A = this chain, B = another copy of it.
Amino acid sequence: MRHFINHTEENYLKAIYSLSQKPNQGVSTNAIAKSLDTKASSVTDMMQKLAEKGLVSYKKYYGVQLTSSGQLIALNTIRKHRLWEVFLVDKLSFNWDEVHEIAEQLEHIQSSELTNRLDIFLGNPKFDPHGDPIPNSQGEIENYHDTLLLSELEIGAFCTLVGVADSSSVFLKHLEKSQLKLGSEIRLINVFEYDRSLSIEVANIQRSISNRVADNLIVKPL
């Protein structure tokens, strides 16, 4: 009954999990292909394999959904990824924009003993350096509530930056240039009709950010 899962399969399951969060049902072949930078035909092959292993339910032409065991593996991979990111930032002094690629490799190391000891060593962190919640060893994850995107905040409101929807290095470096980091207090001053750009106040300084940036900032209203 216990199949072995390799890093390719872990990557597919993680991608499907991530795409399932936006709650349309049945993740499409094309969406997975785009997310993994591969071709739709390759995805179809893999979906048939994962379906045989009982990790996804797959109906031809209608996309896939994770089964509970598939979801558990996805969440465990995410757990490993985020714990390693914490390790890299907290212990090895990497910047938060440098850790994702390395964690993409480390997340595939197979040893639950290692993962759990790492968790303890790091002090059982609840969030990774990008504000993403870390699943526990049972695959339970804290769905952050009371949060929304900065682009959805109402004008005049105050909020705290608690997460980023894009962990790419180029985006994170861009944020740093605007003095934005996790925990920053932000006041939304205005949204301009023309290009949906936003005027915000951070650390007593007024700045302008694009709607593209605001769409990737997860905030908690104060």
Binding site secondary structure of chain A = helix
**A121 / chain B contacts, CB cutoff of 8 Å:** 91-92
Contact B102 A117 (CB under 8 A): no
Q: Are B94 and A105 in contact (CB under 8 A)?
A: no
**Bound Cα distance A101, B110 (Å):** 10
Separation of A93 and B117 alpha carbons in the complex (Å): 8
- The verdict on A106 contacting chain B, using a C-beta distance below 8 Å, is yes
Cβ of A143 under 8 Å from chain B: no
Q: Give A105 to B114 CA distance when docked, in angstroms.
A: 12
Q: Which of A85-115 contact B (CB under 8 A)?
A: 88, 91-94, 98, 101-102, 105-106, 109-111, 113-114
Task: Point out the residue from B93, B98, B105, B113 that lies within 8 Å of A110, measured CB to CB.
Answer: B105
* A51: interface (CB < 8 Å): no
Q: Are A114 and B91 in contact (CB under 8 A)?
A: no
Contact mask for chain A residues 117-161; partner B; CB cutoff 8 A; 1 contact, 0 none = 110010000000000000000000000000000000000000000
Chain B nearest CB from A117 CB (Å) reads: 4
Asked if B105 contacts A109 (CB within 8 A), the reply is yes
**A111 and B106 alpha carbons, distance in the complex (Å):** 11
Q: Is the CB of B92 within 8 A of A118?
A: yes
Q: Which residues of B contact A101 (CB under 8 A)?
A: 111
CA A109 – CA B88 in complex, angstroms? 13
* B117, A92: Cβ atoms closer than 8 Å: yes
Chain B, Cβ-Cβ closest to A111 = B102
Q: Nearest Cβ distance between residue A99 and chain B, in whole angstroms? A: 10
A-B contact pairs, 19 of them (CB 8 A): A88-B114, A91-B121, A92-B114, A92-B117, A92-B118, A92-B121, A93-B117, A94-B113, A94-B117, A98-B113, A101-B111, A102-B109, A102-B111, A102-B114, A105-B109, A105-B110, A105-B111, A106-B106, A106-B109
Binding site for B on A (CB under 8 A): 88, 91-94, 98, 101-102, 105-106, 109-111, 113-114, 117-118, 121
